[in-house]
Amino acid sequence: MPNLLGFACGPDLTGYFSLPSISESDAHILTRFVELFGKSGETDLIDRLLKAAEAKQLGHSETVIRFWAPHLVGGKLGPLEPLLADPSIEEIMVNGIDQPVFVYSRQHGMLPTPLSFTDPSFFLEISNRILSGLGRRVDASHPRANGMLESGDRVAVIIPPYSRDYLMDIRRFTAEPLTILDLVSSAMLDSRTAAFLWLVMEAGNLNVGVVGNTGSGKTTLLNTLTRFIPEHERLVLVEEVPEIVPLHSQVVHLVSADSLGITLRDAIIDSLRLRPGRVIVGEVRSDEEVQALRESCLAGQALGTYFTYHGQSAGLARRRLEAQGFAPHDLDAIDLLVVCRRLEQKGRAIRRVVELSYHGTSLSAPPKSWPEIPELTRVFGDWQTLLERRARLLASGKLSGKDSLIFKEIQKAMA
């Protein structure tokens, strides 16, 4: 009895998942259920099919049928739906037909699931069901699509001929954005580094890039740092997929739209015409985007331009930016580079801020020996002493971190 269902769920070899395995008989009944439901939409259809199957003694499992049937016709993600019910799963990856679907778990790292897509047509059906709410679809003439779901989760789909196989990635969105206290608690950065970045973001007049490898927490950190921008300032966000979630009263969102011929470069340039207090660029990749970033940093129309960028170190990031069109004599327009890195430790991924670089000079020594940072001196005077005071506050455990704009609570505690 061939499996015409389009996906399979075998035994779980990890001991982590509680997804019921689908036998050939189960697959046959589920396939028939999907076919008939599409024609009739009857609410008692599953009961009738199970009763008929019982009479024929097909050797099926009622528990399995009742588990999978609602996901196949009710959920946008189809068989992937149960995976999103686990809050510890950060990412879902489909690597091809007849390949196990992988997930990245916050506790256990990368894990193969017992799920796999077995038919390209079913993969396309589920992909386009997911993308339909975004007004997008994939087919042979449009082999790639990405966007953000209503839940905030980010999805990317790539199919042949652009790729050799059928690929999907769903990255989970954190409903409650992390605060700087969360990042200090998880050891992504220490309280002194957090206090320094707090001063940088509050003072303004400094352009900051957050760089690192894939999954290193660049966007998470940048999202967190927006909490330190004074609440009254006007923020202009430029992104390909909306991910930054500032909680200020004046936020302007520009989202690139390739289908309309509006590139991220266009959006960066347009941001300068919107009287920005601060400009935040989600991720800079192409040569054209780098050149637009250069214009934003040099224009001085905002009190700061902030962006994320791929790079293993500050030095490598500066060389890549130069190779992509950021003129060497203009590189100091990027005042600070914050380097994040994703590391593997005992099978788990950990994220760390590993480097701060001010105009190409590493800030690895204690702050008292750092070069003068005039932008901080103008605003705070003796900012090194203030930095140490704020670092002690962040490490004290006296802050709840529950305030939507954490700097309100911090400012009150500092008064």
**Distance from C-alpha of 285 to C-alpha of 288, rounded to nearest angstrom:** 8
Same domain for 125 and 225?
Answer: no
Omega before 82 within 30 of 0, i.e. cis: no
Same domain for 201 and 100?
Answer: no
Give the three-state DSSP class for 336. strand
Within 10 angstroms of residue 98's Cβ, the number of other Cβ atoms is 10
Range of the domain at 49: 7-171
Same domain for 344 and 406?
Answer: yes
With bands split at pLDDT 50, 70 and 90, how would you rate the model's confidence at 192? very high
**Distance from C-alpha of 172 to C-alpha of 87, rounded to nearest angstrom:** 9
Residue type, 408: K
Segment 155-183 shows an average pLDDT of 89
Identify the domain boundary among 149, 171, 193.
171
- Rounded to the nearest integer, the mean pLDDT of the chain is 87
Is residue 1 a part of any domain in this protein? no
Same domain for 213 and 102?
Answer: no
pLDDT digits (tens, 9 = 90+) for 18-67: 899 998 888 888 888 777 775 555 657 777 777 776 666 666 778 888 89
For the cut 90, the answer to whether the pLDDT of residue 326 exceeds it is yes
Q: How many domains does the chain have?
A: 2
pLDDT digits (tens, 9 = 90+) for 103-128: 988 778 889 999 999 999 999 999 99
pLDDT digits (tens, 9 = 90+) for 308-324: 999 999 999 999 999 99
Is residue 275 a part of any domain in this protein? yes
For the cut 60, the answer to whether the pLDDT of residue 219 exceeds it is yes
Buried b / exposed e over 129-144, threshold 16 CB at 10 Å, is ebbeeeebebeeeeee
Residue 294 is predicted with a pLDDT of 93
Q: Is 111 within 8 Å of 103 (Cβ atoms)? A: yes
Same domain for 148 and 197?
Answer: no
Beta-sheet strand order (sheet of 7-9): 7-9, 109-117, 100-105, 89-94, 167-171, 154-158, 144-148
**Distance from C-alpha of 407 to C-alpha of 404, rounded to nearest angstrom:** 9
For the cut 50, the answer to whether the pLDDT of residue 1 exceeds it is no
According to the 3-state scheme, what is the secondary structure of 215-275?
A: CCCHHHHHHHHHHHCCCCCCEEEEECCCCCCCCCCCEEEEECEHHHCECHHHHHHHHCCCC
Identify the domain boundary among 144, 171, 198.
171
Name the residue among 210, 242, 205 with its Cα closest to residue 225: 210
Residue 358 is predicted with a pLDDT of 95
Residue 256 is predicted with a pLDDT of 82
Is residue 336 a part of any domain in this protein? yes
Same domain for 115 and 242?
Answer: no
Question: Cα torsion at 206, 212, 215, 218 (round to 10°)?
Answer: 0
